[in-house]
Structure 1
Amino acid sequence: MKKLFLEARFLDLFIEQQALLRQVQRRAAGSRDRDTLHAIREFLDTHYAEPPSLLELARLFGTNDFKLKKGFRELFGTTVFGYVAERRLSVAQQLLLLTDEPVQQVAEAVGFVNPAHFATAFRRRFGQAPSQLRRGPKSQVQELAACS
């Protein structure tokens, strides 16, 4: 009986050790995944006008599209293309406030092919049309310049 008890206890300890080892491996993998997702976000910050597809993005960073979609949403609270859309609109807002480029050129610069889609998305995000932002008070430009 004593021998069976010791053998069972040994197996319990071995199983516990394996479980702890798997936990450590998952944490290390999770850390690598977070680093990869941060690198992807940085890449999108500079390539927002013409982002690659999810599959191309995943391959570019050595992950799969499922991990990319799931991890990005968990870490940043938005989808990959939701992030890209927000980035495009934020840059467009800055360009409209700080430059005299026509609205259509601003739309093209941030990756919108159709100016009407740009105007709709801009209005939905900021509550006013891009042209209205230009006609707004110049204090908005000064506030934005102070933040930069």
Structure 2
Amino acid sequence: MPLSKQDITYIRQAKTILDENFDKHIIIPQLARQTGINEAKLKEGFKELFGTGIHTYLQQLRLEKAKQLLLTTSMPITDITYHIGYSHVTHFTTLFKKEFGVTPTEFRNSKGL
């Protein structure tokens, strides 16, 4: 489905909302309503424009934010979990290890190297 200039504007607006609200519970239907585009077009267009799905993008964004916090703060892992929008430390730790190959604690202890 071809994207109009207006669709692209809406989809970029959706990405901005994700970037600014990564720590909040975001659901795609709400994001679609907020930006004025239908849900299917938002999902397909987002993947077309940014090369990844909305959920994957949000997860990667959160994990990158966590990585930065682990490197630059002494914030406890639990606090980082909540700060980036997850409510369960075990879920966050599992996702982090899957993405980076080490747990958040191991990452912090090795200073990301």
Report the residue type matching 1:61 in the other structure: T
Higher helix share: 1
Indicate the residue corresponding to 2:15 in structure 1. 41
Asked if 2 retains the 8 angstrom alpha-carbon contact of 1:119 and 1:130, the reply is yes
Following superposition, the deviation at residue 36 of structure 1 comes to: 1.3
Following superposition, the deviation at residue 119 of structure 1 comes to: 0.5
Runs of 4+ in 1 over 6 A off after TM superposition: none
Query: Is 2:68 the partner of 1:94?
Result: yes
- Structure 2-normalised TM-score? 0.92
Asked if 2 retains the 8 angstrom alpha-carbon contact of 1:44 and 1:51, the reply is no
- Structure 1: tracts of 5 or more residues without a match: 1-26, 142-148
Identity in percent: 33
CA distance in 1: counterparts of 2:60 and 2:69, whole angstroms: 14
CA deviation profile, 1:32-88 (whole Å, cap 9, x unmatched):
111111111111001011142111111111111011111111111111111110000
Larger Rg: 1
1:115 to 83, 86, 89: 89
CA distance in 1: counterparts of 2:41 and 2:63, whole angstroms: 26
Indicate the residue corresponding to 2:109 in structure 1. 135
Following superposition, the deviation at residue 114 of structure 1 comes to: 0.7
Following superposition, the deviation at residue 121 of structure 1 comes to: 0.4
- Structure 2: tracts of 5 or more residues without a match: none
Query: Is 2:69 the partner of 1:79?
Result: no
Report the residue type matching 1:90 in the other structure: E
